[in-house]
Structure 1
């Protein structure tokens, strides 16, 4: 058993050695031993390739503004581990992590001796979240973000009020498949019998899979661009303004403080979710709370301006679709600026396409690596770039410090890639 937070975190992270073990058998076993906490919580389940964290944040902020207590389960963390399990955006306390793990640890040890095997890091943390929101600190509603895929993700033991699929992109292709249809099949695995689905999926082949799965499960799909759509989009100094028309209402003057067309799409999914809670689940969320909640919603590492002088942007663009959105936003908002891009990524991504897009946007490419088991080496990233102005350096702290100190007014620094890398950057920038 554990007496300190440090001991608890070290043991949890030691489970990373197990990697990804798809399947729900271990989670179902732990849920039964914990008296099925997943059945005692009102939940919204959020899957998709990109936009899960932002969509969850918009929903949480809307509900929190109305005075509803919201639990959230997210991954990965950006600034501290505890934020993965939060109440109204506030990470749970260190001592609560210790308490939760001491409740789960005996089950993990018992599982090691069975034929189904020991639970992974993500399964342990997911079990902690279910246990916390059901038995330790019950909440009005909990928002659960899928970790990987959907069908075999450890969060998929729940039966939510509502499922959301934000987008489909070519990510984790070695596990989920290498076509939009294959990946959509995995994401659609979170659709439950009779549970409505809100979708921001765009690709026709992916939509076909989502709709077919929903029909099999007798679930209704509410699709962005059909049952609800945005209008009147304009970019503001630090975000976006838009209107939203759906089967319930037509709303104008909605504002968000996170930049990008993709963030409007994420926000529209959140508003649609709030409308559903109002119409079908006896919540009472006012228009004022929807507007105020959207505007104040903040999620770190999403086109985040961390410095104005010099201008530095952090963006956790960790796949092809994310990089495409980043490059579009950079050209739209800062066409006059030269762009120096610091990039680090995981080795199991489609790196050539991501780097190719950044090469077209950046005046200078800076490739670095970081301390993570699956991180790509800086020299390997460098070799994939066609830029005529590029460097590779393993010491990302020294490189960023040097580049930041030498930036002129016409140059901006863009730090992007893996969310695990962005997490390290955020913590380092606090102290430097």
Structure 2
């Protein structure tokens, strides 16, 4: 298959939806001679923050002059973003090659009756493992797709496991309570493999600590074993001190704004320090350089000034709360002009309550063309009588820019799918200009 054909193949697999369980991925990887077993990995799960944490760990390992793979999801604009080598997305040709190889294996296991047709995410996961093995990476940082225990990435025995945090999201698949979701995420904990987490509260920590004890895995808790202390903070970035017991204290500079990113960065750095315990190539300089080099698109991402234009994929109440805190911190007392779109199966009321203040201006849009996206009019009703439903994203953005004026704030948020659509819009506008 060429690149276009490989994309068509993946899109065709979309109809199989999300199916948790391990038999398909295990059968598929066996057919490919288990490339995942030949990789050194770091495994990252969590409700929010796993993308930026994965990115920072990968950047630290990269700063240590190592060859590093990174598998994340979802993508914003192109599937290639999910499979990254040394900070660059996989090329179209390489993407087509590994997807073709995985398709052959998938067709084979289905024909042999080993398992049912692997899902789109399982094919992408297998493709990432195969690509990282063929590229002979020193480490691959693997982000969980959903949950942990039954996620298709949970076929690895990593060097370190990371659980960023636990909050309510994907309740239809991972459980209706924080405790049940924590049990899913704790499923990535492996025998004798250290775990780093910033999860809080007994409901979240109970299952994580219990699983870790059962697996004899040392646990490093944010707030106990280590914590980050803000020194200075702005939309351009932050400086903080990372304290780890009485043995370690060091100042770090990061480009990621928001109080929550001090916590996320602390988790990433401690995870990388645990890698350094068995690999002395990961030194102190790499920790600082990798942390300083990390940017993560679509999360408190400022793409314009005068007016300030911010993109954020906050799609659950926990993420919305972090975004609102940051807006209040960096733009105190200022009204925000939101371009807001969400998936209909998310906690829309919870996000609206956490995010939108009474004097904010809200233009609602459909997050993307998919069937899961909430209609602009339905979303506007939930926001309140002053929200304005708009047919197109471009039109809503134009209205928000105009209403905000040069000194205002525009925030495009509510879903990573919306942020992806917005980035495509910008890309198309730039291509037309050239």
Structure 1 length normalisation: TM-score? Answer: 0.95
- Residue 373 of structure 1 corresponds to 371
1:392 corresponds to 2:389: yes
Mapping for residues 36-75 of structure 1, pairs under 5 Å: 36-75=34-73
Q: Distance between the aligned counterparts of 1:333 and 1:185, measured in 2?
A: 36
CA contact (8 A) 1:193 1:217 kept: yes
* Residue deviations 1:107-146 (CA, integer Å, cap 9, x gap): 2223444373111100000000111111x21101000000
CA contact (8 A) 1:47 1:165 kept: yes
* Residue deviations 1:39-83 (CA, integer Å, cap 9, x gap): 100000000100000001111111212211110000011232111
Q: Distance between the aligned counterparts of 1:126 and 1:420, measured in 2?
A: 20
Mapping for residues 8-407 of structure 1, pairs under 5 Å: 8-113=6-111, 114=113, 116-134=115-133, 136-236=134-234, 238-247=236-245, 249-279=247-277, 281-360=278-357, 363-369=360-366, 370-386=368-384, 388-407=385-404
Q: Distance between the aligned counterparts of 1:247 and 1:121, measured in 2?
A: 43
Return the offset for 1:203.
2.1
- Range with bigger deviation, 53-62 or 407-416: 407-416
Q: Distance between the aligned counterparts of 2:115 and 2:78, measured in 1?
A: 31
Q: Assess, with a 3 A threshold, how the Cα gap between structure 1 residues 76 and 356 changes in structure 2: closer, same or farther.
A: same
1:417 corresponds to 2:405: no
Q: Distance between the aligned counterparts of 2:187 and 2:258, measured in 1?
A: 28
CA contact (8 A) 1:327 1:361 kept: no
CA contact (8 A) 1:255 1:291 kept: yes
Give the superposed CA RMSD. Answer: 1.6
Q: Distance between the aligned counterparts of 1:180 and 1:363, measured in 2?
A: 30
* Residue deviations 1:316-373 (CA, integer Å, cap 9, x gap): 1011100001111101101143211111111111111111223326511111002123
CA contact (8 A) 2:306 2:407 kept: no
Q: Distance between the aligned counterparts of 2:414 and 2:346, measured in 1?
A: 10
Return the offset for 1:291.
1.5
Q: Distance between the aligned counterparts of 2:245 and 2:276, measured in 1?
A: 13
| Unaligned runs of at least 5 residues, structure 1 | none
Q: How many residues align?
A: 427
| Unaligned runs of at least 5 residues, structure 2 | 430-434
Q: Distance between the aligned counterparts of 2:335 and 2:406, measured in 1?
A: 9
CA contact (8 A) 1:367 1:392 kept: yes
